[in-house]
Structure 1
Amino acid sequence: MADALTGVSRALREAPPDRVVEAADRAIRSVLGASGTAVFVADYRINGLWPVVDSRQPEVADQAGQSMVQRCFSSQQPVRDGDAGGRCRLYLPLTVWGERLGVLMVELPQEPSEEVAARAVDVAGEVAMALRAADQETDRYRRARRRERLSMAAELQWELLPGRSLSHDAFHLAGQLEPAYTVGGDHFDWSLDDDRLTVTVLNGDSIGLAAALLTAVTVNAMRNARRSGGGLVEQAELASDTVYYQHRGHRHVATVLLELDCVTGRVRAVDAGSPHLMRLRGGSVTRVALDQQLPLGMFAETRYDLQEFDLDPGDRLFVVSDGVWGADPSGRETYGQRAMARSMRATRLQPPTEAVGTVMRELQAFHADADLRDDAVVVCLDWHGSGDREGG
C-alpha cells in the first residue's frame, strides 16, 4: 500500500500543474484498477460541484450522481454507489487541513474490498494536496470553479483569502463572502501559529474596486506586523497608520482582530469599530460585548487596547459584517435583530463549513432572494477545547 501511495505521489509531483487531474486519473487506474475517475471542484458560492472537464473522464451528469457528489462534499465522508452490473463508484472528499476543495469520483469494476477502499481514501488525500499546490500555478481549476465572471474587486478579494475553512484538533473554522462574484471591501483573514489562531474580519469602506484596494492594503499591513512577530495591537496600529497616511482620514476600515489560544480557549481581541461577534452556547445566541475603538485609518497615531474573553468547549463563535447584521432590504427590522439569531441556532448540528452557508442562505431569503445591497461576511469558529486536542 505504501509503495502504491508513493507511486501516486510521485506521478502527481512530476505532472505539470495544469495536468494534475490527468496524472491522477492514470495513477488511480494503475494503483486501484479503476475504470475511470472524475474530479469535481466547489464553486465560489459553494452552491454546486463542477467537473474539471476532460474527455477521458466519465461524466457524472445524472441527478443521482450529482446527489452523491454533494452528499460526499457535505458530509466529508466517502460515499459508495453500486449498480446492477456490479460496478461501484466511490466518492471521496478532496480536503486539505479542513479546506474543502471538492470530490474525487473513482469508478471500479466491482465492489472494493476494505483495503482498496482505504487505499482510495489515502489516494484522495494525495490528489487534494496536489490540487491545492497546483492551484497557485495554473488558472484551470479556478476557471472550473466560477459560474460567471468575477468583478475586478472580487478577483482581488478572493486572491487575498487564506482559504475558506481550516481544521485543528482544538477548533474548526470557516468563512464565506457574498455576493461572491462582485464582493468589494468586506473580507476575512486567518493564520495558525504555535497554538495561536489569529482571525480578522473587515468591513471595507466604499464600494467596488476602491474598497477592494483599501482592504488589500489593510490586510497586508496586518500580515506584515503579524509576520514580524507583532501582536494584535501592533497589527491594528500598523494597519491604521498605513491607511491614514495613504488617505489622511478620508478612508477607514472597521475591523475586529481576534487571537485564540488553542490550549486554553482564551480570546484576545481588538475591536476597531465593528464587525459583530455572536456566541452560540447551547441553544442561546448572545452578543459578545466589546468596547468599540476607532476604525483603522481614521486618525494618525491611533492607539488600541486589548480585551479578553473565554470560550467554553462546545462554544460556537460567529463574526459577521454590517452587511449581515444591518441588512434591512424592505425597511423593516434588520436581519441582526431577530432573524440572524434564528439562523444561527439552526446551525447547531452543522459543521462550520455548512453553518456559514446556512446563515448566508437565510440572509438571501431575508432579502427575498434579491441581490444583496451590501457586502456580507460570515465567519464561524467552533472551539472544541484542549481536552479533545490532547485526546486526539
Structure 2
Amino acid sequence: MGEASVDRSEGFGERLLGVLLDRARLLPPQLIAPLVAEEVARIGGRDVSILLQDYAQELLVPLPGKKLHVGQPEPMLDSPAGRAFLRGDVVEVPQTPSGVRMYLPLLGGSDTVGVMALTLDAIGHDDRRLLSRLSGLVADMLVTKGAYTDQFFQARHREPMSVSAEIQWSLLPPTSMSVPQVEVARILEPAYRVAGDSFDYALNDNILHAAVIDAMGHGLDAATMATVAIGAYRHARRVCISLAEKYAFMDDAISRQFGPDHFVKAQLMHVNIATGEMELVNAGHPAPLLLRDGRVVQQLESATTLPVGFGGEEPRVREHTLQQGDRVLCYTDGIIEEHVNDGEQFGEERLIPPMATHARDQADQSRCCRRTC
C-alpha cells in the first residue's frame, strides 16, 4: 500500500485504537508489544521498539518480542529516546535517505514509563495526533499488564538485584507525578542494592502528602523496618490524621515491632498545592534544600525530633511557604556520607553546587518556553 493511500483520518484512528483496546484486554502480557507493532504497521509504521527505563534510571532498554525491533539500550542522556523520555515530548529525527524516526513518550497517567519508537516514510498532522493517542494507550496497557508479570521487570534490570532491593522497589509509588500545580520525582541509588531507604507520596485533594525514610542497618533487617514504616505511614495517611499524628503512629509501629534499639529516620510533609503552604516534620534527616530562581536559597529547618521508634514526644511541626516554581530537594544521609576518591565524605558542600546548576538550567528552560509558547 502506498504512503499516499494510507488512511489516517480521525475515524480510522478511532477504529484502530478501539480494535487495539478490544484485543489487548484478553491478551497475555508478552503479546501486548507485538500487537502494538502490528497496529502501527497498519498506518505504515515500521521498526517499532518499546523502550523501558532501567532501574538505575540511566538507560532505556528494549522490550523483546515478536515483530519488535530490538536494538541496543539507549542512554537516558544524549539520545533522542532519552530526550523524549525526560521532556515528555515527541522527538522526530529525519532518516537517510528518507523517512522520520519518531520517539513518543509513554505516559502512564503523569509518570513516564518508557518510549515507543517507530519509523514512517512521511509524517503529517494526522500521524502525530493518532500516534500520540496510541502511545498513551500503550503506556496504560504496559502499566496494567505489568502488574501481573515479571517480564517487564526482567527487561528493565541490568544486573542482579538483592532481596532487600526487591522489597523496596515493590513498595515505591510511580517514579514521577505531574499535575499543573505540582511535580514529584524520585531516584533510588544504588538501585540494585538498596536496603532501608524508601519514599512515598499521595495527592489527596489539594494536599500533597510525602515521606522520605531511612531505616537503620542494611539488608533484610533494614528493608523489613522500611516496609513496616511505609505501611504505617500509608495507613495513617488514609485515615486523614495530622502530620504529628502520622509521626506518632509510625513511631508506635516501629517500637512495638522491633523494640527500643531500632529506629527509622523520616521526613514527613504536607504541601497545599493551592496556597504553597508546607508543613514539615524532620526526624533525624538532613534538612531539605529549597531551590528558587535557579539557586539554593536555604535549608528548610524544623524543630529537633527523634527518629521514628525512639518514642519521642509529639513533634513540633514547622511551617514554610513555597512560591510558584520553587523546588524542594529531600535526600537521605547516604548521599552526603558516601566517600569520594580522596576518602572524604561527599558532604553537603559537594551536593549544593550541582543542584544549583540543575536548578538554573531548569529555570532557563522554563523562561525560554514561556517566551515561545
> When the two structures are superposed, what TM-score results if normalisation uses the length of structure 1?
0.83
Please say if residues 233 and 306 of structure 1, whose CA atoms lie closer than 8 Å, have aligned partners that are also in contact: yes
Distance 2:287 2:332 in 1: 6
Q: Distance in 2 between matches of 1:129 and 1:63?
A: 22
Partner of 1:151: 162
Please give the per-residue CA displacement for 1:318-341, whole angstroms capped at 9, x wherever unaligned: 001011233344676643331111
Partner of 2:173, secondary structure, is: coil
1:338 and 2:357 are equivalent in the alignment: no
Matched, 1:17 2:21: no
Give the AA of the match of 2:138: V
Cα displacement (A) at 1:114 = 1.4
Aligned to 2:306: 294
**Retained in 1: the 8 A contact 2:108–2:136?**
yes
Equivalent position of 2:218 in the other structure: 207
**Amino acid of the structure 2 residue aligned with 1:117:** R
List alignment gaps of at least 5 residues for structure 2: 1-9
Offset at 1:134?
A: 1.3
Equivalent runs, 1:182-197 vs 2, <5 Å: 182-197=193-208
Counterpart mapping for 1:324-335 below 5 A: 324-329=335-340, 334-335=345-346
Say yes or no: does 1:3 pair with 2:15.
Answer: yes
How far 1:107 sits from its partner (Å)?
Answer: 2.2
Q: Distance in 2 between matches of 1:197 and 1:191?
A: 6
Name which structure has the greater RCO, CA cutoff 8 Å, separation 6+: 1
- 8 Å CA contact 2:60, 2:74 repeated in 1: no
Change (3 A) 1:51 1:209: same
**1:232/1:329 CA distance change after superposition, 3 Å:** same
- With over 3 angstroms needed to count, the CA separation of the structure-2 counterparts of 1:63 and 1:197, relative to structure 1, is closer
Cα deviation for residue 245 of structure 1 reads 0.9
Query: CA contact under 8 A between 1:249 and 1:298: conserved in structure 2?
Result: yes
CA distance in 1 between counterparts of 2:267 and 2:306 reads: 11
Distance in 2 between the 1:98 and 1:121 partners? 14
Aligned pairs (5 A) from 1:276-355: 276-282=287-293, 283-299=295-311, 302-329=313-340, 334-349=345-360
Q: Percent identity?
A: 27
Which residue identity is paired with 1:224?
H
SS for the counterpart of 1:105 is strand
Q: How does 1:377-388 map onto structure 2 within 5 Å? A: none
**SS in structure 2 at match of 1:14:** coil
Q: CA offsets per residue over residues 13-70 of structure 1, 9 Å max, x none?
A: 332233221222222223x232341101010111111111124212344989x93222
1:28 maps to 2:28 = no
- Distance of 2:344 and 2:321 partners within structure 1: 31
Equivalent-residue separation in structure 1 for 2:23 and 2:212 (angstroms) = 39
Q: Is the alpha carbon distance of 1:302 and 1:284 closer, same or farther for their aligned partners in structure 2, counting shifts above 3 Å?
A: closer
The residue that corresponds to 2:273 in the other structure is 262
RMSD: 2.4
**DSSP 3-state at the match of 1:177:** coil
Task: Determine the structure 2 residue equivalent to 1:50.
Answer: 61
Could you tell me which amino acid in structure 1 is paired with residue 30 of structure 2? Answer: D
Residue pair 1:240, 1:302 contacting (<8 A) in 2 also: no
Is the Cα–Cα contact under 8 Å of residues 233 and 304 in structure 1 kept in the other structure? yes
User: Any idea what the Cα deviations from partners look like across 1:86-126, whole Å, max 9, x if unmatched?
Assistant: 33221101122331211101222x11111111211111011
The one-letter code matched in structure 2 to 1:17 is P
Alignment partners' CA distance in 2, 1:351 and 1:7: 40
Task: Please give the alpha-carbon distance, in whole angstroms, between the structure 2 residues aligned to 1:127 and 1:55.
Answer: 16
- Opposite residue 302 of structure 2, the aligned amino acid is L
